[in-house]
Amino acid sequence: MSNKKNYTGGLVYSTNPIALNEETQEELETLIPSMQRLKVKLDTKQRAGKVVTLVEGFIGKNEDLETLGKMLKTKCGTGGSAKDGIILVQGDYKTKVIQLLQVVGYNVKL
């Protein structure tokens, strides 16, 4: 492709006006913990059989998501990641994560 300025990463056509302009997506304001409804579950898909604890449904800024993820990983003494509204904690820490989230004030469903 000689004109890299107009390259859309394989997108041929879209009726979504935001599809070609990634800069227009704004982060949502972080909701207070009591208004959040987080879902905690165990997952092994595409992880070579290793168990991870997923926390889904966080609504807010990436900085706040990363702060919450760091707190959970520190309290569980393990690694993980936090991005796209999902916190991943390595290992089976479902009950501990639920307890930690409820202490901080989050609504947690299984």
Count of domains observed in the chain: 1
**Domain-embedded: residue 61:** yes
Is pLDDT at 15 greater than 90 in this prediction? no
Residues 54, 92: Cα–Cα separation, whole Å: 10
Kindly report the backbone phi and psi dihedral angles of residue 2, in degrees, each rounded to the nearest multiple of 5, phi listed first: -80, -30
* pLDDT of the residue at 69: 97
Q: Is residue 10 domain-resident? A: no
d(CA 102, CA 59): 16
Q: Is residue 15 part of a domain?
A: no
Q: Is residue 52 part of a domain?
A: yes
Q: Which residue has the tokens 């997952």?
A: 43
The CATH number linked to 61 is 3.30.780.10
- Assess if residue 1 is contained within a domain: no
Q: Distance (Å, rounded) from C-alpha 18 to C-alpha 12?
A: 14
pLDDT of 34-88, one tens digit each? Answer: 999 999 999 998 888 899 999 999 999 999 999 999 999 999 999 999 998 999 9
Greatest C-alpha distance within the chain: 56
For residue 8, being part of any structural domain is answered with no
